[in-house]
């Protein structure tokens, strides 16, 4: 238990919570204060949970927390698998119930943030069958299901891109290197131009060089055409 409390306190004192607890002050929290700490951690995972629990009925708090913990797939340890006992522990702010929850949440906060985000789009709204007899409701429900499938596909592609090895930092470094190389080439061309300009009749020589390049390109084109004709004849 002491290791569990130490882990909880260490993480609550870090960003984004910055609680400034020690083992004694944390373990001395009143049940209502402990519930608020739990709620603050849940609110970090799902911003919709931002609530001052003093303004909420205890049963409503327990129901809300149980709903999110279910979405996050939390399983109470040991004999706390009796959900009525677990629920009652949430209502009264019981340490044996809340400490394990805090420990579990703080071990995987980033993973749970993603899970809570996806749940907003992937937990299907069940429409009663009698409502689906209405054509408009049925069409809307079909569109809803299609959009859900589209979201799954897009999210999967997004995750694949994130893990494909490309990163913004790497792309920026590549662009920076190419821009530096481009600047060096421009400077080299400028130096060569200055050297050429000092040569007598450089304009006439440049014109001859351009003509030579054009003739070489024409020669390569004719050779390629000749080879293609040979290939056609041989086939």
Q: In terms of domains, do 177 and 63 share one?
A: no
State pLDDT tens for residues 102-128.
Answer: 999 999 999 999 999 988 888 877 878
Q: In terms of domains, do 78 and 189 share one?
A: no
State pLDDT tens for residues 122-153.
Answer: 887 787 887 778 888 888 888 888 888 888 88
Q: In terms of domains, do 146 and 58 share one?
A: no
Residue 80 has pLDDT above 80, yes or no: no
Q: In terms of domains, do 11 and 112 share one?
A: yes
Q: In terms of domains, do 152 and 174 share one?
A: no
Average pLDDT rounded to a whole number, residues 3-8: 94
- Output the CA torsion sign for 207, 208, 213, 215: positive
- What domain range includes position 58? 1-120
Q: In terms of domains, do 47 and 110 share one?
A: yes
Confidence grade of residue 235 (pLDDT, cut at 50, 70, 90): low
Residue 173 in tokens: 């470094």
- Output the CA torsion sign for 71, 77, 81, 84: negative
Residue 8 has pLDDT above 80, yes or no: yes
For residues 10 and 103, give the distance between their C-alpha atoms in angstroms, rounded to a whole number: 11
Q: In terms of domains, do 87 and 159 share one?
A: no
Q: In terms of domains, do 14 and 35 share one?
A: yes
To the nearest whole number, what is the mean pLDDT of the chain? 85
| C-beta separation of 66 from 87 below 8 A | yes
Average pLDDT rounded to a whole number, residues 74-82: 72
Residue 36 in tokens: 């608020």
Give the DSSP letter string of the chain: -HHHHHHHHHHHTSTTT-----HHHHHT--HHHHHHHHHHHHHHH-GGG---GGGS-HHHHHHHHHHHHHHTT----GGGGSHHHHHHHHHHT-HHHHHHHHHHHHHSHHHHHHHHHHHHHHSPPPPPTTGGGSHHHHHHHHHHHHHHHHHHHHHHHHHHHHTSS--HHHHHHHHHHHHHHHHHHHHHHHHHHHHHHTSTTHHHHHHHHHHHHHHHHHHHHHHHHHHHHHHHHH-
Average pLDDT rounded to a whole number, residues 7-11: 96
Of 58, 87, 120, the domain-final residue? 120
Q: Which CATH number is 78's domain given?
A: 1.10.418.70
Between residues 176 and 189, the one the model is more confident about? 176
Residue 8's contacts (CB-CB under 8 Å, 6 or more residues apart) are 26, 99, 102, 103, 106
Q: In terms of domains, do 32 and 72 share one?
A: yes
Between residues 80 and 212, the one the model is more confident about? 212
Q: In terms of domains, do 194 and 210 share one?
A: yes
Domain tally, the chain: 3
Q: In terms of domains, do 13 and 110 share one?
A: yes
Q: In terms of domains, do 3 and 75 share one?
A: yes
Confidence grade of residue 28 (pLDDT, cut at 50, 70, 90): very high
């Amino acid at each position: 238990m002491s290791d569990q409390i130490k882990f909880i306190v260490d993480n609550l004192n870090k960003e984004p919570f910055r609680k400034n607890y020690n083992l004694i002050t944390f373990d001395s929290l009143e049940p209502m204060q402990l519930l608020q700490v739990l709620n603050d951690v849940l609110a970090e995972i799902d911003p919709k949970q931002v609530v001052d629990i003093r303004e909420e009925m205890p049963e409503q708090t327990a129901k809300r927390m149980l709903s999110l913990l279910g979405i996050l797939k939390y399983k109470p340890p040991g004999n706390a698998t009796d959900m009525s006992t677990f629920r009652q522990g949430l209502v009264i702010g019981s340490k044996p119930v809340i400490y394990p929850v805090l420990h579990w949440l703080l071990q995987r906060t980033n993973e749970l943030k993603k899970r809570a985000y996806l749940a907003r789009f992937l937990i299907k709204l069940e429409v009663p069958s009698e409502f689906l007899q209405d054509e408009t409701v049925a069409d809307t429900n079909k569109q809803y299901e299609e959009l859900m499938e589209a979201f799954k596909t897009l999210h999967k592609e997004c995750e694949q891109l994130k893990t494909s090895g490309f990163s913004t930092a790497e792309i920026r470094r590549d662009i920076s290197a190419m821009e530096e190389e481009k600047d060096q080439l421009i400077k080299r061309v400028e130096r060569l131009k200055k050297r050429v300009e000092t040569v007598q009749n450089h304009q006439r020589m440049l014109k001859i060089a351009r003509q030579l390049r054009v003739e070489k390109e024409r020669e390569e084109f004719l050779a390629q055409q000749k080879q293609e004709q040979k290939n056609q004849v041989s086939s």
